[in-house]
Structure 1
Amino acid sequence: MDTTLGSVGIERRWRGTATRQGTIVSSVLAAMLSSCLFLTRFALTVGKSELSLALVVVLCGTALLVLTGSIRISPSRLGLFGVAAATLLLSVMLSGGSQPSYMSFANLLLLYACWIFVVPDDRQFAMVITTVRRMLLIIAIAGILQFFAQVGIHSQTLFNWDVLPRAVISHGFNYVIPAPGLGGLNKSNGFFLLEPSSLSQMMAIAIILELEFYRVSWRIGVLAAALALALSGTGLVLFCAIVPLLLLRRGFGGVLLVAVPAVILLGLIVAGPKLALLLDRVQEFHSDQSSGFARFLSPFFLFSDFLYPHLQTTLFGMGPGAIETFTNKTAYLIHDPTWGKLIFEYGFLGAVPLSIFVGYCFFAGARSVWLASALFVNYLLLGGNLVDARLQAMILALVVLQNRPRDVRGATVRSVMPGAPMPRAPMPGVRTAAPGSHSPVRRVR
């Protein structure tokens, strides 16, 4: 977290009533978070296509914030987005694909147009962090209860929501995935989320959020249990990429020296005769029919087979929506990770400017580099998030709308400034910095 909050902690009570614009912003951000955590399975069926509810919430919510003057445009983001949009349009016009999806292209432009805005009130950051913390804890508890409830409730309805009409539920996701070696039990998907991998990713983000902004508490144990019961590698990838560095930064290097060997030893003891299954999972990258290969390696094979043979496709790609049409055209299993889909469909000419814009939105004036990094790794590597608003709703609420690019810092409503309402005494458990200190404060019980 940067110093825009000054000596004010992540949570403070403020005198006076909330402003009308502040209430609108709080409501919209809470709706965005709800759409990607509790309503992520719902979609509107339009012909043969599905329109995720998260996309509707993101676009309508951003439009409401614009119409009410509750958010500001960042000129630097606007300029970078203009360049990216122009090059993407050129790639669409010159792409090597035969039937580009203009709906996919329009979806991309509308979704990333929401990234040019900033919430001007600094106090919204504390609100949104507190809100998502509570939501993720509910998801964790739901995931734990779901896993153990299947022992007595022998029905896949716990995982796939078959009791609801198919017209309102998203399809094409693996809601029910058996847990290898656990006697017919299924991996937990958090009940509300799409897949076990979604639960594992959200729990990793929740643990990172706890370590960054709050004191260590029982919540981390609950989140870690839900992460383990998801039995998915994507959340562990995110956890291992960020958490050890975050612990070192907080001065817990000694904990790592004890915890890492202890976890390995415990895993070996618990795995016992099932250790071969674990080793098979680790070695699945050797199989071109495995999910690990499809998620992390298949784009390189797609590039080699279809992009690189021709200069036109290398520069301009195969056209928007093209990667989905190749699902049944290859002997190996493919997936559409964000970076792979972007390059494959828009070529390097379109991919580079959009990548610069996205990177700038994530990290320029970031409130928390750790939170931004966690969501960036998730966005870029762990799913097909290029035009999927489900994760982007969280990215917008927690990072993109909250960051402070240099060109908008002077226009923001700061937490402490001459003439502004003075904060009350800190809430119990909040630790504040000394007067004049520029070190951010973020440890809350």
Structure 2
Amino acid sequence: MTEKATYAYGEKICSWLSLKHDMTKPQLISLLNDKKIVQVDSGRDIVSILTDDGQVFIASDVKSKWETNKTLRLINTGNDCFKMIACGRGHLLMLRQDGHVFAMGDNSYGQITGNEKSSFESMIHIAKLENVELIVCGRFQSLSITNNGEIYSWGLNEFGQLGLGDEKNRNTPCLIPFPNDDLIDIRIKDIVAGMYHSLFLFENGQLWGCGSNKYGELGLGVDIKRSKLMKIPIENVQKIACSKFDSFSLAYDGSSYYAWGRNSSWSAPKKLDYHPTSFASASTMILSSPLTFGITSTIYEFGSQDSISYQCKSIIQLFDNQDSYDVEFLIDKKRIKASKCYLKSVSEYYRRMFSGNWTENDQVTIDDYSYETYYAYLRMLHTGKIHINRQNITELVDLANCYGDEKLMKYCETFIRND
């Protein structure tokens, strides 16, 4: 998106929208001019788009049952104003501003609701659900959270992915029991649904899961499926993600990313040590290419592409290198290795730090900044490039002020103006 236009890139999406795919540039979607997209989700042969004025559009394969006629099809033609969408493999949920849920698409396993036939032409109101705040789709299952913290699920339950304690399919929303008494007064924070499993994140940072565990997607260290919610051995989780088309899970605890599933060797959560900055980059540890999860926070990369070209490789190798360091920065029991001489040459702050009484100091404890933020800053001093997003902008502004780094401050100011 730009300020007033939206573009599409890729052979498949362009064919769905009657646009000519061009490898060298994206194509303008004129129907979305002056509209801002706030959410995107996709199924096997459908892409759904939610705009900030509550309109829902879909695009699909010409061979699908959605009948979009190779253009964007507007779903809500009346006064309905939606605030959230979710796609399964072949069905679509829409959450209206008043907390009511509507559904369309395939209903082979009751993932829409009731004994209704599949509906690709019109919306079906899920009457049993009210005051809903969040909707989620797995491959063939649907889930929701109400404003009082109740969790409902319906659809395919062959592997126990609905968390109801059995493996019977449901064609109406059913209340999921809380896993134990300890969570009675703790609100649910988020739900994500995979191909045949579901994950539940609570406000206290505990993560629970149910469903298929054939590939270790529940992170329990065994391959036994679970029809009741089971606690996953990872603490202080802040965010979670998984794909409705695959059997793996991802989590973020505020400082590190974890992954599990996809194969038996990943049957328990593994910390990813190569410092991914998003779930998309974390997915590359399991998949051969990145997997995106709808619209994510905008990330601006500052520093020109040729900023490294004039720096010899020996300088880059001074950063976090076991064989060429004389100082360690200690942050939350983690270490970042560097060269005093080089840091003094590029930063007045470090020149003062490693002079006088600091000359012989080979360990520096950092208490004011997170490991990820400080790692990104030190890496910028060696490569000339840094990633800035909404999660690290506050710390980076403070660091730029404290360290008197004018270049970093300009990067932060540019990010704030753009974002």
> Of Structure 1 and Structure 2, which has the larger fraction of its residues in strand?
2
> Of Structure 1 and Structure 2, which has the larger fraction of its residues in helix?
1
Shorter-chain TM-score tier:
under 0.3
TM-score by length of 2: 0.27
